[in-house]
Structure 1
Amino acid sequence: MIVATSERLELLMQSEMLAQNIIESDLFQQYVECKHTLAQDKEAQRLIQAFNREKELYEDVQRFGRYHPDYHKVTKSVRIMKREVDMHEAVANFKKAERQLQDLLDEVSTFIGQSVSEFIKVPKGNPHFQSGCGCSSGGSCGCS
C-alpha cells in the first residue's frame, strides 16, 4: 500500500510543473505545429497511406522471405516509398521536431536519473536511431 506523504505529493506537484514547462516550451509548440501541418497536408497523407499499404504487402512477403516470388520487387518498392515519404517536407519537418522533443525528454530523464544515482538506467528515445547498444546507461555498462 502506498501512503500519500507530503513529500510524495510535493514531488508529484513538481513533476507536473516540469511537464507543464515542457508543454509550454518552444520545442513542444514547434512539434504541435508540425504535427498539425502534417495532418492537414493531403499529399503527405496520401503518401503515408500508400506507404502503409505497401508495408502490409512487405510484411506478408517477409513471412516467406527470399522464397516469395515478389520478394525483391516488394522490398525495393517499400524502400522507394519510404524514401518518398521521408523526403516530403511536412514529414521531414515533423520528424525533426519529434526528434528534438525526444532529445529534450531524454536529457530531462537522464538528468533526473543521474541525480538519483549514476547506476539508474533511464529509458531513452528510439533505440533504432541511437548508436551503441541502446541500454541507456550512459556508458556505465561498458557497451558504448
Structure 2
Amino acid sequence: MFATYQSIEVLDLADELSEMINQSEAMADYHSAKRATFENKDTQEKIKKFAAMKERFDEVQRFGRYHPDYKETNRETRRLKRELDMDEVIITYRQAEMQVQSLLDQVGIMIGESVSEQVKVPVGNPFFEGKRRHGGGCSTGGGCGCSTG
C-alpha cells in the first residue's frame, strides 16, 4: 500500500484523537480508580477469595447439581461476588470504566456518522442503542430496531 498525503493526514488526526482521549478527565479517573483497586489490600483480598471460590465452583460445576458440594459452593460464590460488587473501590472502578466506555461510544458514533448515516456503530452502552444508524436491515426483520428497508 502506498502512503498518500491524505492517508498520512488521517493517521495523524487519529493519533491526535487518541492522545486527546488518553488525556481526558474520564481516562484520568479510570487510571486513578484502577490504581486504587490494586493498592487497596482489603479489595485485593476480596478479589483473591472470589477468584479461588470461582475456580472451585467451576470444578464443581462440571458435575452440576449432582455434586455433593454444589449448593454450598454456589451459595458461597454468590456471597463473595455480592461482597465484591458492594466494595466501594470496585464500585468507583466500574463507574470509571463506564465513563470511559461512554466517551469511546460517543467518539465512535461521531466518526461513524461523519462517514455515512448508514454506518453501523457498535456501542457498549444501551443509552446509545437508539443512536445507532442501521441501513438496509440486519437480517433480524427489524428486531434490533433498524429499518428493514
TM-score range, shorter chain: 0.7 to 0.9
Contact 1:27–1:97 (CA under 8 A) maintained in structure 2: yes
Q: What is the identity, as a one-letter code, of the residue corresponding to 1:44?
A: T
Q: Residues 40-119 of structure 1: matches in 2 within 5 Å?
A: 40-119=39-118
**Residue among 132, 144, 149 paired with 1:138:** 132
- Structure 2: segments with no counterpart, 5+ residues: none
Paired residue secondary structure (2:76): helix
- Work out which of the two has the higher radius of gyration on C-alpha atoms and give 1 or 2: 2
Match for residue 37 of structure 2? 38
CA distance in 1, matches of 2:35, 2:15: 25
CA distance in 2, matches of 1:137, 1:112: 13
- Structure 1: segments with no counterpart, 5+ residues: none
CA distance in 2, matches of 1:3, 1:137: 35
Contact 1:61–1:71 (CA under 8 A) maintained in structure 2: yes
CA distance in 2, matches of 1:4, 1:139: 31
Contact 1:119–1:137 (CA under 8 A) maintained in structure 2: no
Identical positions, percent = 39
Q: What is the identity, as a one-letter code, of the residue corresponding to 1:89?
A: E
The count of aligned residue pairs is 137
- Output the aligned Cα RMSD: 2.2
CA distance in 2, matches of 1:124, 1:116: 17
1:17 aligns with 2:11: no
TM value normalised by structure 2: 0.81
Contact 1:58–1:78 (CA under 8 A) maintained in structure 2: yes
Q: What is the identity, as a one-letter code, of the residue corresponding to 1:120?
A: V
CA distance in 2, matches of 1:119, 1:70: 53
